[in-house]
Structure 1
Amino acid sequence: MNYQKNYNLSFSLVEVLIGIVFVTILTYLIYMGFINFMKFSTTVRIQLQALNLLENEIELIRNLKYEDVGIIGGYPRGVLEPKKIVEYGLYKFEVRTYVRNIDDPFDGTVTTTPKDSAPADYKLVEIEADCLNCPMKIKTQKLTTIVAPKTLEATTNNGSLFIQVFNAHGEPLSGVNVLVINNKINPPIRIEDLTNINGLLQLIDIPTGTNAYEITVYKPGYSSDRTYPLNDPNNPNPINPHATVKEQELTIVSFSIDKLSNLNIYTQNKFCKPVGEINFRITGSKLIGVNPNIPKFSTTTLTDSNGYKLLSNLEWDEYAFEILKQGNVLAGALQMLPFRLLPDKTETINLIVAASSPNYILVQVLDEYNNPIDFATVTLIGANYNKTLITGVDEIFENNWINNYSEKTDNIDLSFGDIRLKNYDGIYPTGTEEYLISNTIDLGTSTDSKILKIEWNSSVPENTSLKIQIAVNNDNLSWNFVGPDGTSQTYFTISPSESLEFTSNKRFFRYKVYLTTYDENVTPRLNNIKIKYKNLCLSKNYVLFDSLQAGSYNLIVEKSGYIPANKNIDLLNEFYFITVKLTKE
């Protein structure tokens, strides 16, 4: 018997596809490896060219006379250009040269006792090169060298200037650009240099001058700082005037810069609705001058139709806001004011805007640790004025229902502004329960919202009744009117009424007023109603007193568990903002 084995040497479609994918991936990896190798090779070649260029420049400098080793128009003076473009091979390089006098500690320095009377012991030359037309970005290439005099150093009539740059945390900043200009000397001095690892630029043995050295410090992506001239009409008394250098003395000038930030600004009302096209002024707390105070930053701008404005590249600072649009005032914010903006951040502030007359006082209440305090009682007393408000609480006041309701029965009369029964030839309908349902009150959000209190002013003669129910929901559709216990079987009959827990985290609100008389000669009347509430969009620790007259006021702030605070206020201008801090008992 013959047996024959049958071997299938063909590949399935799946095996072929897997093979193709494998080969493709392998080919891609080999290709990418080759590309990366070529990039690395090109980068190394360019860096070597840059270093060769710098070595040639260093060799030229070493062959100069010692007195010529310096910067044209800078200090120490010399024949070297501070910046130039050099073509080297296929590429163009920007070459920057820095020359600094060095005070060697071997023979004492300008900071030791006794002082070194000839502090310019030798010169440090630093050269940097950046490629301008290279196919890829390479790191800045640097070389340094020391150039020493051939003769002994001599005592001079110059002085020294140290420029120290810190960040917002008081830490030294290295690599900060420093521009120093002295136009009071002929020829003028212009020095462009960088701070060292200690955030310090030491200018040793430079000419003297009173308020002669204009200094500016800056760094890409950071804020900037500078000195200012004296007696400038726009800033007559600068805090940081141009630096003075005295003979054989050391002047130290400090600056503080840090990374820039962005601020999202929203203008909205107390019901979370955007309020658009609000022009406002934002002013930082940092000053560049005093008597009068001159802020470093202040600008006027406008939110868009959606109540939004982005301010980019702001310096870290504490910023105050003032609403400039006529008929609108700043009623608070969802954050603490002034708003503290930290470095290298994108922050958001929500400004609460309200319609009001110009004269107003905005009060912010904080504890001793700058935490907001809600439910503090704030009373403002002045001539013919006495009003009490509560932080984090607002009220809705209604006293006229003409064309201001959602539903009513025919026997309700609104012609007098209040709510009463209709009079038919001197007779009121008896024994019937008439009602009016208010329009919907939208608190803007369900988050942290609650009806805290309802109170009303009414006239309820004998043999009549006036009672109220309320309804809350989040869909603006289901209106189930209830009384104090949250059921439809009870009614609010005593003003004020509080402890309305069932209203928590509900956005929409209505009230229903029931009127009944059993005496045809009299009617009950509702004159007004006040609904006190809170929500997420209310300023938690602010109150606003508006429509005020200019004059003197006494402000009293109280809360259980805290020592009351008493402040006197002279309202002279249209806007007065005050922060009151309470200390725990």
Structure 2
Amino acid sequence: MSKLPVSKKITHKTQRGFTLIEILIASAVITIAGVVIIATIASFLRVVLAFQDTTRAQNLANEKLEILKNMPYASLATQFGAIYPPGNLPDTQTVTSGGHQYVVHTYINFVDDSFDGNALGTIPGKPQDFYPFDYKKITIEVRDGLDKKAFVKINTNIAANAAETSDNTGILFVSIVDSQGNPVSNANVHLTNPNPSPDVDITTITDTAGLLQIPLLPQDTTNGYHIVVSLTGYSTDGTYPDSLAGYDPVQPDFNILSQQVTNLTYTIDRLGSMNITVQDENGNPLNGVGLTVASETKTYVDTNGINPDIAKYSQTFTSGPSGQIAISNLEWGGYGFSPQSGHYITSVTPYQPVSLTAAGSLNVTLSVSTNSSWPIISSVTPTSGLNNASLSVEVIGTNLVSGSSIELRLAGQPTIVATGVVSSGGDTDLTGNFDLTGALTGTWDLAVVKPGGQTTIQKGGFTVANP
């Protein structure tokens, strides 16, 4: 009897695939590697392009400088630069190199070598040098096509073959400082005078010390020289013509005298901003109220006191739905406020005139009333006291009638009421005494309350301190 065949067990080796997580991880690694590679390539290209820009700019600057070196010395002057009489050289040119546009700036100015003294006569042991144009300094700056980024800046000095000679000209020496007295470099200075022939029309910049010297200016005894100083993001300063009847300019246009130095200083600084809130007597925001904001800095004054002075800054605004007025690009200094007709400012926080610092941002709150008899606080003296004694306080304002009270208020603290309050000066002056003994230190509101309850509050108007 035959045996049945025995079947053999066949095993199959299975192939294991990638899981979803493994695929995601691998994709992420590849992506990251790709990003790194692309970023590296992009960075390399930027470096290459920047190198090419710098190389082209260097070549342009060298070419320009070589051209100027081969020109006659007397012709080395730009159309609006710091040398008078002006030349024919353009101050700014747009050129193309390698398919790219570049802006080329040319600066040419006289240099006063200290060897024979200086124009101001400030070098010990050296005489005053009335011919401070020993040689010319040429500076070539090449920037990108948008005139924003500088690639190359080179300079050289070129001297004349002839010696210095005297003539019927004078020297202008200008110093530009900020509000703290620090020098402002690269400030733009624009000097004009239509009287000489050719006209004086010079646009140049200060050096790193904020100084600028312009020799060989034609004499003018009619105050014909006008100057404007500016810098991006800064305020402006300068002179004003004597052309308004009944007014004198605070900084008038000036003379240049033969063989003399005219030394002038102007001040500019970074611009700031002001945010004003206009509210009623009860602190509710006021919409649609016209308000004139004027600087304490004046451009013209009437020495006879007949005409009102003319402020350097004076603009009228209208408050928005929340009582807000936002003002930018303001010069540092003091500012005052005048509301539209039929409105009266009862208090200003901080006290008016408010003071804006350079590059600062100031928040101002104006309380306004349509009631002409409402008490008005203009100033308080002093605005602080020690909490170990009594103190006499004076409030200056309007409608400060007899029977009014002066109070200090702070949330959570008992009100401090002045004693011996007296009204004087035709209801423009209130005096009283505060007993500050044991008072909590900090900033308190100062309130003036008329008989009948009309109240004006000077927010944060008084500070109590420890002895």
Match of 1:199 in 2: 210
Equivalent of 1:46 in 30, 45, 53: 53
Residues 380 and 556, structure 1, Cα contact 8 Å, conserved in 2: yes
Q: Unaligned 5+ residue runs, structure 1?
A: 394-446, 454-497, 499-542, 563-579
Per-residue CA deviation, residues 62-102 of structure 1 (Å, 9 max, x unaligned), is 11111111123652332312223323331233322221111
Residues 376 and 557, structure 1, Cα contact 8 Å, conserved in 2: yes
Match of 2:377 in 1: 362
- Structure 1 counterpart SS, 2:270: coil
Match of 2:96 in 1: 87
Structure 1 pair 273–449 and aligned structure 2 pair: CA distance change class (3 A): farther
The two structures, once aligned, show a CA RMSD in angstroms of 3.8
Q: Does 1:69 align with 2:32?
A: no
Q: How far, CA to CA, are the matches of 2:140 and 2:71 in structure 1?
A: 15
Residues 81 and 97, structure 1, Cα contact 8 Å, conserved in 2: yes
Q: How far, CA to CA, are the matches of 2:241 and 2:119 in structure 1?
A: 27
Equivalent of 2:195 in 184, 187, 192: 184
Match of 1:352 in 2: 367
Per-residue CA deviation, residues 408-447 of structure 1 (Å, 9 max, x unaligned), is xxxxxxxxxxxxxxxxxxxxxxxxxxxxxxxxxxxxxxx9
Equivalent of 1:305 in 297, 304, 321: 321
Q: Does 1:121 align with 2:134?
A: yes
Equivalent of 1:559 in 433, 439, 443: 433
Q: How far, CA to CA, are the matches of 1:381 and 1:58 in structure 2?
A: 67
Amino acid at match of 1:115: Q
Equivalent of 1:281 in 292, 311, 315: 292
Per-residue CA deviation, residues 497-520 of structure 1 (Å, 9 max, x unaligned), is x9xxxxxxxxxxxxxxxxxxxxxx
- Structure 2 counterpart SS, 1:386: coil
Q: Does 1:97 align with 2:97?
A: no
Equivalent of 1:111 in 120, 130, 133: 120
Residues 161 and 250, structure 1, Cα contact 8 Å, conserved in 2: yes
Match of 1:222 in 2: 234
Pairwise CA distance, 1:243: 2.8
Structure 1 pair 229–133 and aligned structure 2 pair: CA distance change class (3 A): closer
Amino acid at match of 2:106: T
Matches within 5 A, 1:115-514: 115-132=128-145, 138-139=149-150, 141-210=152-221, 211-233=223-245, 236-291=247-302, 293-326=309-342, 328-357=343-372, 361-367=376-382, 386-392=402-408, 448=411, 452=415
Per-residue CA deviation, residues 518-545 of structure 1 (Å, 9 max, x unaligned), is xxxxxxxxxxxxxxxxxxxxxxxxx9x9
Per-residue CA deviation, residues 534-569 of structure 1 (Å, 9 max, x unaligned), is xxxxxxxxx9x9xx9xx945624233369xxxxxxx
Pairwise CA distance, 1:129: 2.5
Amino acid at match of 1:352: S
- Structure 2 counterpart SS, 1:17: helix
Q: Which has the higher contact order (CA 8 A, sep 6+)?
A: 1
Count of residue correspondences:
414
Output the TM-score relative to the length of structure 1.
0.63
Residues 76 and 101, structure 1, Cα contact 8 Å, conserved in 2: no
Pairwise CA distance, 1:31: 0.5
- Structure 2 counterpart SS, 1:560: strand
Residues 378 and 395, structure 2, Cα contact 8 Å, conserved in 1: no
Structure 1 pair 376–358 and aligned structure 2 pair: CA distance change class (3 A): same
Q: Unaligned 5+ residue runs, structure 2?
A: 1-10, 304-308, 437-460
Q: Quick check: which has more Rg, 1 or 2? A: 1
Match of 1:26 in 2: 33
Per-residue CA deviation, residues 299-352 of structure 1 (Å, 9 max, x unaligned), is 2211012211111111111111122241x3111133232111112223211111
Q: How far, CA to CA, are the matches of 1:370 and 1:161 in structure 2?
A: 51
Structure 1 pair 334–450 and aligned structure 2 pair: CA distance change class (3 A): farther
Residues 102 and 142, structure 2, Cα contact 8 Å, conserved in 1: yes
Per-residue CA deviation, residues 554-585 of structure 1 (Å, 9 max, x unaligned), is 624233369xxxxxxxxxxxxxxxxx999x99
Q: How far, CA to CA, are the matches of 1:289 and 1:315 in structure 2?
A: 17
Amino acid at match of 1:268: Q
Pairwise CA distance, 1:185: 0.5
Q: How far, CA to CA, are the matches of 2:225 and 2:173 in structure 1?
A: 12
Amino acid at match of 1:198: A
Amino acid at match of 2:323: G
Output the TM-score relative to the length of structure 2.
0.78
Residues 352 and 378, structure 2, Cα contact 8 Å, conserved in 1: no
Residues 78 and 89, structure 2, Cα contact 8 Å, conserved in 1: yes
Per-residue CA deviation, residues 370-402 of structure 1 (Å, 9 max, x unaligned), is 99xx99766899999524231556xxxxxxxxx
Q: How far, CA to CA, are the matches of 1:180 and 1:451 in structure 2?
A: 63
Per-residue CA deviation, residues 110-152 of structure 1 (Å, 9 max, x unaligned), is 1225222332111111222322269xx6325322121100122
Pairwise CA distance, 1:272: 3.0
Q: How far, CA to CA, are the matches of 1:197 and 1:159 in structure 2?
A: 24
Amino acid at match of 1:209: D
Q: How far, CA to CA, are the matches of 1:351 and 1:315 in structure 2?
A: 20
Residues 279 and 365, structure 2, Cα contact 8 Å, conserved in 1: yes
Pairwise CA distance, 1:448: 2.9
Q: How far, CA to CA, are the matches of 1:51 and 1:243 in structure 2?
A: 41
Residues 176 and 268, structure 2, Cα contact 8 Å, conserved in 1: yes
